[in-house]
Chain A
C-alpha cells in the first residue's frame, strides 16, 4: 500500500481518522475525491489547521494534518505547543519536504530545526522514517497511537530491505560494529548504508542504527552501541543543536558515560539550495564524504 492508500484505508475503516492539509496536497492529491468530507483543506493557514485539528481531536477524531515542515513546525509552533502539546491530543502532524528534502527551495523552506523544536514539546513524539518503505512500515502504529506525533514525511525510494517489525521507541539495528556505530534518522539513512559499506572495505567493523522514532528514542540501542563501539557517529540533516547529537549527549550525561561521538550535522548555517544529490555533495553528506570524515577522525 502507498501512503495515500494507508490513509484511505484508515479513514474508511475507522471513523476517527480525518485528513487535513493547509493547501499542501503533494502527498495526498488523490484523497479529496476518495474520502469526501473526511478531507479538510483549510487553505494556507498552518495555525488554523493545527487549531482545527485540535478541535477535531477534542471530539474524538485523529486528525492527520499536512503542511510543509518548515511552516507547520515554525509558523504554527505555538499552536502545536499550546493546543496539541498542552492538550495532549492525538493530532498527527505530517511535515513535507523536511531537512534536505526541501532541495532547491532555499532557507525559508529548510526545516532543519524541526526535530529539535518538536521533541522539546512535552507529549509530542517524533517519527523520522529512513525512506518510503520505512515510513509505510511504521505509519499505522504511529497514526493509531493515542499520542501526538510529528512525522517527517519521507518518500525517497528505499535502498534497503527494512525490518517489518516496528515499535514506537525501538530502533532498527541494521548491524552491530566494534569500531564504529553510525546512528541515523531520516533521509540520510541511505548515505549511512553507503558509508558503512565503504568503511567495511577498509576493514572496519561497522554498526548501523536506523532510529525511526527520535522521540521516544531507543536508549538501549544507543547505550549498547556506546558499550561495543570505539566511536559513535550521529548523522542528521538538521542543525547540530537540539537534534540527534543533543539526544545522545543528554543520554550520556544522564548515564555518566564518556565516549567519542562524531556529529555529522549542519553547523550554524542553512544549507546550499540545490537538487538533493548536489546538496549532499556540496555539504559533505554523501556516503563517501561521511566515510572520509569518519576515517580522518
Chain B
C-alpha cells in the first residue's frame, strides 16, 4: 500500500473515531464495538467496496450489511467522512428530528438494511447474493458479524445454506474483538477455532489484523468470485481500540460519558493522557 493511501486511511479512521467519541456523550452509544470495527469499515468503504454516494441505488453496486448493529456509530462516522450524509447530521444522534439512533435503519443513506436483532443479516445477504448471481452481476456482498453474534443459531443455519448454495460473492467479516456484551467470548461460550467451523460448512476462510490497513488489504485481496465458496474474514480487533482508557474492557460496552469526559477522550485519542473515567458503567442496554 502506498504511503499516501495509508496515511489517508489512517486520517479518515481517526476522524471516524472522533465522531464515535462525540456520540458517546449526551445519551451515549456502544462505543467499544464501534471502535473495534472503525478501521475495518473505513477500509471496506474506501478501498474495497464499489459503492459511493452516486451509485447507492444502482443494483450493480457492492453491498455492506452491518449485522452487529451496535457499532453503527462507526458506520455513520464513515458515512459522514465519505459524503453519504452531512457531517452536521451526526449532531442529531438520538434526537427525534432524525433517525440516528443506536441501531442502523434504512432512513440513513447507505444503510442497506436495519439490524439490531443479532443473527439476521447473514440470511438477508444470502438473498441478495443469490439474486446477484441470478442476474449474473459480479457485486460483492459483505456482512459484518460480531464475534458474540456467532452464538446465535441462525448464523450457523445461514452459514450452512451459504455453503450449500456456493455463494462465492458473499464475504462475512467477523469483528473479532473477543467480547460478547459484557463478558469475554472465550470465558462464556468459546468460539475458537472459528475458521475450522466455517471451513467445515464449506467456506473459504482467512484472517487479518483488523487495525492494520496493509493487512486488511492483504486479506481482502485474496477474495475472488468463482471459487464456489462463501468467504469468511476474521478481523482480529480490540474493543475500544484507539482509547487506552477503555480498550479491551468488559465494562465499556455501552457508554454515556459526560461532556468533560468526551473532551478528555478526544484529547486522549490525539495522544493526550489517559482519561480517568468516573461515569457509571452501563452493562446492559
* Residues of chain A whose beta carbon lies under 8 Å from any beta carbon of chain B: 37-38, 40, 42-43, 45, 47-61, 63, 78-79, 82-83, 86-87
Contacts and interface: CB of A to CB of B under 8 A. Distances in A.
A56 B134 CA distance: 11
A58 B160 contact: no
A19 to B, nearest CB: 13
Contact of B154 (A38, A48, A55, A61): A48
Nearest to B124: A55
Nearest to B141: A55
Contacts of B132: 59
B117 A55 contact: no
Contacts of A83: 113, 120, 124
A49 B112 CA distance: 19
A45 B117 CA distance: 18
Of A38, A52, A53, A87, most buried by chain B (CB within 10 Å of CB) is A52
Contacts of B154: 47-48, 51, 79
Nearest to B137: A59
A137 B158 CA distance: 35
- Chain B interface helix/strand/loop/mixed: helix
B128 A48 contact: no
Contacts of A59: 59, 127-128, 131-132
- Chain A interface helix/strand/loop/mixed: helix
A48 B123 contact: yes
A79 B120 contact: yes
A53 to B, nearest CB: 6
Contacts of B113: 54, 58, 83, 87
B160 A78 contact: no
Contact of A52 (B117, B130, B134, B160): B130
Given A58-B113, A87-B113, A87-B114, A51 B160 contact: no
Of B112, B125, B134, most buried by chain A (CB within 10 Å of CB) is B134
Contacts of A49: 123
Given A52-B124, A58-B112, A60-B59, 6 more contacts: A51-B120, A51-B121, A51-B126, A52-B127, A59-B131, A86-B114
